[in-house]
Structure 1
Amino acid sequence: MYILLALIGACALGIAAHFLIGGRELRGVVLTPAVATALAAVVYTGLQWAGVGEDSIWLWLASVLGSVVVAAAATVALVRFRRRADASARAALGI
């Protein structure tokens, strides 16, 4: 049941990261929170299987904060790629 706390925390921080990262018009509103939540589930489960206890701070830092950092980095990379693709499409069309 503690995994729900990690998932809710990652989702909430993912929502905050969505609004802090620019280029919101180039991506979906759910992208960053969904990636953060999915990564938190995978990391939390993997660390639990590896024997890390629920009382370990590393479990919470890796699953909640780590997943949000990775999701934010993926979002920034996606926005950069989208801006580059849009610019090359505009140049190809002569706009």
Structure 2
Amino acid sequence: MQILIAFIVGAVIGIGIHFQLHQRLTRGVALAPMIGAVSAGAAWALLTWLGVGVDTPWPWLAALVVPAVVTYPAIIVTSRVRVAHDAREKARLGIG
């Protein structure tokens, strides 16, 4: 049941990253928290499947570090791709 803590921590880190980075309007408000939650849960599950117990600090550190390392670049890339796509569409449609 401790994996729920990892999901919650990952989602909170994702929320923080969403509001920290620019171009918030180019992505959904749930994207960063979902990426953070899934990456934290996956890291936790992987470590427990490898035999690392919850009595060691590694799953807890992974639940803090992995979402930040995964979510931050994913949101930056997603925002850049969306801005570039929107610019191409505006040029194609002659909007402005």
TM-score (norm 2): 0.88
Unaligned runs of 5+ in 1: none
> SS of the counterpart of 1:28?
coil
Higher mean C-alpha displacement, 15-24 vs 3-12: 3-12
Unaligned runs of 5+ in 2: none
Does the 8 A contact of 1:36 with 1:70 survive in 2? yes
Q: CA deviation at 1:8?
A: 1.4
Deviating above 6 A after TM superposition, structure 1's stretches of 4 or more consecutive aligned residues are none
Q: CA deviation at 1:15?
A: 0.9
| Paired amino acid for 1:91 | A
Partner of 2:88: 88
Give, in whole Å, the separation in 1 of the partners of 2:4 and 2:92: 47
Give, in whole Å, the separation in 2 of the partners of 1:67 and 1:16: 11
Does the 8 A contact of 1:10 with 1:67 survive in 2? yes
CA root-mean-square deviation: 1.3
